[in-house]
């Protein structure tokens, strides 16, 4: 009965793809590398957006909207940024189609409608935004500018995977302008902290905050802060990044401000973003072989009622009882669904909501009606409890909070178990190949060593953790001296 997923042990990657499709989150589209985000998947994104948006506004940011297209001449202005994205740009070259004389009913690109200057579909918006900020900023009075944009972006990836890596994806990108380096750095860190808080408190995913090495930095950034999460298969996933851009974009677009003292200085910049990729992290952190497991704080449906009945009369009786409980729960702000569809059996529904990761399922049959009880099943632990109907609101309120906490603790325990300190390269390789997870090791700080390790093991430096203690040691690869450990892992 119902959909049986490939187990994680058998084929983790297949298991992931099956969950995405069978839990109705997303599917591939007719456009190479672009996905359709289905209503259930989009509802999770809406919850994430709502919470993040509140957090951005609470830290003084406003939303705005900038053009989808970046003229090539703007795109190439900040050279490192341009170089970083040039290889994966969708480019608009024409603005009209016309009838194809050779093929009736078909269209072709009109060669007479070639653009004078090609337009890049934004892979990120620094260029178009800094070109705009140029006219917004004259004096220190115009600073800071604290703006966020919710948008779609396009990066022409060759190998795509639903949510994790798609040619088009949805994201938010913050772009701020500041008078001083210190203020911009503070903003960079603040937004990385906001991401950490969101991912930990809403997504129940523990993250490590750190900075990227020069080779893993955002193209055009002077420093990239990040939050790194660990998936159940032992691979890391970069869940969000916050970039200190220095004066690179201000210089590329000639954005200066008059200081209070009468001087003229380049503006300091940050940018930061998270995307629909987070949904991939959500799936891979909590789900199991039965399907999706959602943390209550982001679940579109937190509680589903499934009636068990024979005949219309019983159905009506149960429905009346459920509607009452549902109303009580909704009054507490709990998101409830009552699945009273007659064309599907309870077993089918159980399977469906298990697959879709609804945190709590409440079953109620004729005997429950007699006894004034219901049966509540937890999705994460698959445990069942019989609860008195008049104690249900309290029980559920409590359980939702418990599940949220338990999911985080479980993921945290897994991660703790999967940070391995190693001091020699043989152990390094054996952990990366075997147990997986983060390897905490000394590194000599050179791009050469980083590259060599990557070539030999496919592991990259995920971050230089902010909270790592200073500790003298020797590089796990070169043996050269090092002052602190960094985190390596294979990554999504």
Q: For the CB of residue 447, give the shortest distance to its own copies in the complex, in Å.
A: 22
Q: Does 63 participate in binding its own copies (rule CB under 8 A)?
A: yes
SS3 473: strand
Range in contact with its own copies (rule: CB under 8 A) among 95-103, 267-275, 307-315, 360-368: 95-103
d(CA 351, CA 41): 18
Range in contact with its own copies (rule: CB under 8 A) among 67-75, 382-390, 392-400, 424-432: 67-75
Q: Does 43 participate in binding its own copies (rule CB under 8 A)?
A: yes
Binding mask 209-248 for its own copies (x = CB under 8 A): ----------------------------------------
Among 36, 320, 386, 452, binds its own copies (CB under 8 A): 36
Among 5, 48, 52, 128, binds its own copies (CB under 8 A): 128
Q: Does 42 participate in binding its own copies (rule CB under 8 A)?
A: yes
Q: Does 469 participate in binding its own copies (rule CB under 8 A)?
A: no
Q: Cis link prior to 144 (omega < 30° from 0)?
A: yes
Among 3, 17, 29, 201, binds its own copies (CB under 8 A): 29
Q: DSSP assignment, residue 291?
A: B
On whether the CB atoms of residues 163 and 277 are closer than 8 A, the answer is yes
Q: Does 320 participate in binding its own copies (rule CB under 8 A)?
A: no
Q: Does 131 participate in binding its own copies (rule CB under 8 A)?
A: yes
Among 21, 109, 258, 468, binds its own copies (CB under 8 A): 109
Question: CB neighbours of 193 closer than 8 A, spacing ≥ 6?
Answer: 209
CA atoms in the 13 A half-sphere facing the CB of 229? 30
Q: Does 186 participate in binding its own copies (rule CB under 8 A)?
A: no
Which residues on neighbouring strands pair with residue 310, listed in sequence order? Answer: none
Q: Compare residues 45 and 195 and give the one whose CB is closer to its own copies.
A: 45
- How many residues lie near its own copies (CB under 8 A)? 64
Q: Compare residues 72 and 326 and give the one whose CB is closer to its own copies.
A: 72
d(CA 274, CA 121): 19
On whether the CB atoms of residues 153 and 123 are closer than 8 A, the answer is yes
Q: Does 327 participate in binding its own copies (rule CB under 8 A)?
A: no
d(CA 150, CA 147): 10
For the record, the structure tokens of 209 come out as: 């905050």
User: Alpha-carbon Rg of the chain, whole angstroms?
Assistant: 26
For the record, the structure tokens of 128 come out as: 């178009």
Three-state secondary structure readout of 217-253: CCCCCCEEEEEEEECCCCCEEEEEEEEEEECHHHHHC
For the record, the structure tokens of 196 come out as: 């950490």
Range in contact with its own copies (rule: CB under 8 A) among 144-152, 179-187, 212-220, 225-233: 144-152
Question: CB neighbours of 447 closer than 8 A, spacing ≥ 6?
Answer: 213, 214, 215
d(CA 21, CA 266): 49
Which residues on neighbouring strands pair with residue 376, listed in sequence order? Answer: 362, 385
Range in contact with its own copies (rule: CB under 8 A) among 26-34, 350-358, 395-403, 404-412: 26-34
SS3 408: helix
Q: Compare residues 121 and 269 and give the one whose CB is closer to its own copies.
A: 121
Binding mask 341-360 for its own copies (x = CB under 8 A): --x-----------------
Q: Does 160 participate in binding its own copies (rule CB under 8 A)?
A: no
Q: Compare residues 26 and 376 and give the one whose CB is closer to its own copies.
A: 26
Residues of this chain that bind its own copies (CB under 8 A) = 27, 29-31, 34-39, 42-43, 45-46, 62-72, 74-76, 79, 82, 86-99, 105-107, 109, 118-121, 128, 131-132, 141, 147, 151-152, 154, 156, 168, 170, 343
């Amino acid at each position: 009965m119902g959909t049986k997923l490939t187990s994680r042990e058998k084929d983790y990657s297949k298991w992931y793809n099956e969950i995405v499709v069978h839990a109705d989150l997303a599917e591939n589209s007719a456009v190479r590398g672009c996905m359709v985000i289905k209503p259930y998947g989009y509802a999770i994104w809406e919850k994430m957006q709502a919470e993040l948006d509140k957090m951005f506004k609470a830290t003084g940011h406003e939303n705005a909207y900038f053009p989808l297209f970046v003229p090539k001449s703007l795109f190439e202005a900040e050279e490192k940024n341009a170089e970083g994205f040039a290889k994966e740009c969708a480019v608009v070259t024409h603005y009209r189609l016309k009838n194809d004389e050779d093929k009736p009913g078909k269209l072709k690109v009109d060669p007479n409608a070639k653009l004078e200057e090609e337009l890049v579909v934004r892979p990120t918006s620094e260029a178009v935004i800094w070109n705009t900020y140029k006219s917004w900023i004259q004096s220190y009075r115009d600073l800071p500018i604290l703006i966020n944009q919710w948008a779609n972006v396009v990066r022409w990836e060759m190998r795509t995977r639903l949510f994790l890596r798609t040619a088009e994806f949805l994201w938010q990108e913050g772009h701020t302008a500041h008078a001083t380096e210190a203020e911009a750095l503070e903003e960079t860190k603040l937004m990385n902290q906001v991401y950490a808080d969101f991912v930990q408190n809403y997504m129940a995913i523990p993250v490590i905050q750190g900075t990227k090495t020069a080779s893993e930095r955002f193209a055009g950034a002077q420093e990239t802060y990040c939050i790194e999460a660990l998936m159940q298969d032992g691979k890391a996933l970069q869940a969000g990044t916050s970039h200190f851009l220095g004066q690179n974009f201000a210089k590329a677009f000639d954005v200066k401000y008059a200081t209070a003292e009468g001087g003229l200085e380049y503006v300091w910049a940050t940018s930061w973003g998270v995307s629909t990729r987070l949904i991939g992290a959500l799936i891979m952190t909590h789900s199991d072989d039965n399907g999706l497991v959602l943390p209550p704080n982001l679940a579109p449906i937190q509680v589903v009622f499934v009636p068990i009945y024979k005949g219309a009369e019983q159905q009506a009786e149960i429905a009346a009882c459920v509607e009452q409980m549902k109303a009580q729960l909704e009054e507490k702000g709990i998101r409830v669904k009552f699945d009273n569809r007659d064309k599907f059996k309870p077993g089918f529904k159980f399977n469906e909501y298990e697959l879709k990761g609804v945190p709590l399922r409440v079953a109620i049959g004729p005997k429950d009606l007699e006894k004034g009880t219901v049966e509540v099943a937890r999705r994460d632990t698959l445990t069942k409890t019989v609860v008195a109907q008049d104690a249900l609101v309290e029980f559920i309120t409590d359980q939702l909070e418990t599940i949220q906490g338990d999911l985080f603790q479980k993921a945290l325990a897994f991660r703790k178990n999967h940070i391995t300190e190693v001091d020699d390269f043989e152990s390094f390789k054996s952990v990366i190949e075997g147990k997986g997870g983060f390897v905490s090791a000394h590194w000599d700080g050179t791009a050469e060593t980083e590259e060599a390790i990557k070539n030999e093991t496919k592991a990259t430096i995920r971050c230089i953790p902010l909270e790592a203690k200073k500790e003298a040691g020797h590089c796990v690869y070169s043996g050269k001296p090092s002052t602190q450990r960094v985190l390596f892992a294979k990554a999504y």
